[in-house]
Amino acid sequence: MDTLRHMDDDDSREGELPEEIAGLDLETQAMFERVSARLGLSNGESTRIGRYELREWIGRGGMGQVWRAHDPELGREVAIKLVSPRPGREPGVLRARLRREAQVLARLEHPNVVAVYDAGVHRGQVYVVMELVDGLTLRASQKGLEADELLGLYADAARGLLAAHARGIVHRDFKPDNVFVGKDHRARVGDFGLAHALLEPDSDQEPTAGAKEEGAKETDAETTEQRLTSLGEVVGTLGYVAPE
């Protein structure tokens, strides 16, 4: 794992923001300062996650913050999600589960799925590196579209889900906010199970009484480790989750 790289001493002064941060808008500066504080950085250190240079705060979701970042090794812009896992998660368990999920999603190459490039834990901060889609969510894009255009975007999303299902990957929170439409007018499904897995309780926790009865019907071969969702837990967003 890369360590944070420091800016040269001549590039910053005590009490001042790094030059590349000082020129940003106030909201982004504030987010930089919060992330730096979480990572234990001083004002004179460049905010990086591994080898990735944070450039611009894109937004915040239920699973954490999303940033535009630069990958200096490959010379490309990427999106980095700084995931906020539930308190009390063991770092070793977190890393192992993150690695497994990332490996599966990284092999899922499809034009209608947001690509996952990298994932890891840096100074205690879980991060996921993804394709940067320059555009809007499907929810924001669908306003004013003709019916056939809208249908085409949802068909794109369906193709992405179908490709994921063929690999044994279940989204678990599919909704217009998790479909991203680029300037190429192509829809890509994002926010698959990777970050959701990090937010779930540890898979070896004791299930609830109701879940135990349901779990008794499972075969011995289906271990808790193999299940995508903990017993008795409901995932998804109300209004979009399947009624069953």
* Sole residue written with tokens 């250190």: 45
Rounded Cα distance, 5 and 10, in Å: 15
Please say whether the beta carbons of 166 and 158 come within 8 A: no
CA quadruple 116, 221, 224, 232: dihedral positive or negative?
positive
Closest by CA to 112, choosing from 204, 171, 188, 173, is: 188
Alpha-carbon dihedral sign for residues 8, 10, 11, 13: positive
The answer to whether the CB of 196 falls within 8 A of the CB of 102 is: no
Q: For residues 108 and 175, give the distance between their C-alpha atoms in angstroms, rounded to a whole number.
A: 19
CB 79 within 8 A of CB 51: no
Q: Is 173 a catalytic residue?
A: yes
Q: Is 26 exposed, middle or buried (0-12, 13-18, 19+ CB in 10 A)?
A: exposed
For 65-94, letters b (16+ CB in 10 Å) and e give: bbbbbbbeeeeeebbbbbbbbeeebeeeeb
Q: Which of 148, 173, 202, 220 is catalytic?
A: 173
- CA dihedral sign, ordered 123, 127, 132, 137: negative
Active site residues: 173
